[in-house]
């Protein structure tokens, strides 16, 4: 959708200087100049991902004179888990966090946000790089739930996992490759559930940081589930154990 993005060097620079929340910026591999350096500097300050792409990709997004740069505007403001988590503990509750490691499909993401909000998840964390776009399609597929649950887009993903773990949350990686059924895991207490992309799964470095690896018990011939469906089943087990 046209209103999901802006293009052109000056408009993107002004957007970075404003209070707009920018999801990511795509720039042509051939783009050079002082204006680009200014945009890179502003992006670093705002923790906005800047990715170099071929001109063909930019022209697939818009045929207008984009000047080699397109910025995607987020419909929501991003939060920081470093700000949210201490407040959750201070309120006396056991935090429930969903961490999405590499999920890229907007329909899955929207569905996971909707389920998370319904099941009482306190925050959803995504990495700043190589992750799903937060756009109008997410708003639609989440049935508006994107506005009712904090989304934390974290640029230092590994450090954030260490922070969550160090704060007292159990990190549980959910994967069909795990050797323990999730109903045998203690999912009460402060908890962060980690879900991976359907193709690549949870990244190895993320798995190494997790306290527990769990799988959904299945008896059918199909080896795996859609990640959005899996997320719903895992969160239900959390709610069941806490209930």
What is the model's pLDDT at position 2? 43
What is the model's pLDDT at position 214? 94
Tens of pLDDT along 148-180? 999 999 988 999 999 999 999 999 999 888 889
- In the predicted model, is pLDDT for residue 145 greater than 50? yes
Task: Specify the pTM.
Answer: 0.85
What is the model's pLDDT at position 1? 41
Domains of the chain with bracketed CATH = 2-73 (3.30.1330.30), 81-242 (3.40.1280.10)
- In the predicted model, is pLDDT for residue 113 greater than 70? yes
| 190 contact partners, CB below 8 Å, separation of at least 6 | 89, 94, 95, 167, 168, 169, 170
What is the model's pLDDT at position 88? 97
Tens of pLDDT along 44-58? 888 888 889 999 999
| 71 contact partners, CB below 8 Å, separation of at least 6 | 5, 6, 7, 11, 12, 15, 16, 22, 24, 25, 26
Give the pairing type, strands 22-28 and 69-73: antiparallel
- In the predicted model, is pLDDT for residue 41 greater than 80? yes
Instruction: Please tell me whether residue 92 adopts helix, strand or coil conformation.
Output: coil
């Amino acid at each position: 959708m046209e209103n999901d993005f802006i293009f052109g060097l000056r408009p993107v620079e002004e957007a970075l200087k404003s209070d707009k929340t920018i999801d990511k910026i795509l720039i042509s591999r051939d783009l050079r100049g002082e204006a680009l350096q200014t945009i890179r500097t502003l992006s670093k300050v705002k923790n906005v991902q800047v990715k170099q792409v071929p001109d063909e990709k930019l022209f697939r997004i818009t045929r207008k004179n984009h000047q080699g740069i397109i910025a995607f505007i987020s419909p929501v403001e991003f939060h920081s888990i470093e700000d949210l988590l201490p407040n959750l503990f201070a309120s006396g509750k056991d935090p429930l966090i969903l961490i999405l490691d590499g999920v890229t499909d907007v329909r899955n993401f929207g569905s996971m946000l909707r389920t998370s909000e319904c099941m009482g998840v306190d925050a959803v964390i995504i990495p700043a790089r190589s992750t799903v776009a937060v756009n109008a399609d997410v708003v639609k597929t989440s049935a508006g739930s994107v506005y009712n649950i904090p989304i934390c887009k974290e640029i230092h993903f590994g450090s954030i996992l260490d922070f969550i773990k160090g704060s007292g949350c159990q990190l549980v990686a959910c994967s069909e490759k795990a050797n323990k059924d999730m109903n045998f895991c203690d999912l009460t207490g402060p908890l962060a559930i980690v879900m991976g992309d359907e193709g690549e799964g949870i990244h190895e470095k993320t798995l190494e940081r997790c306290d527990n690896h769990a799988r959904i018990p299945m008896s059918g011939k199909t080896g795996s589930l859609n990640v959005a469906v899996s997320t719903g089943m895992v969160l239900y087990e959390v709610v069941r154990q806490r209930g």
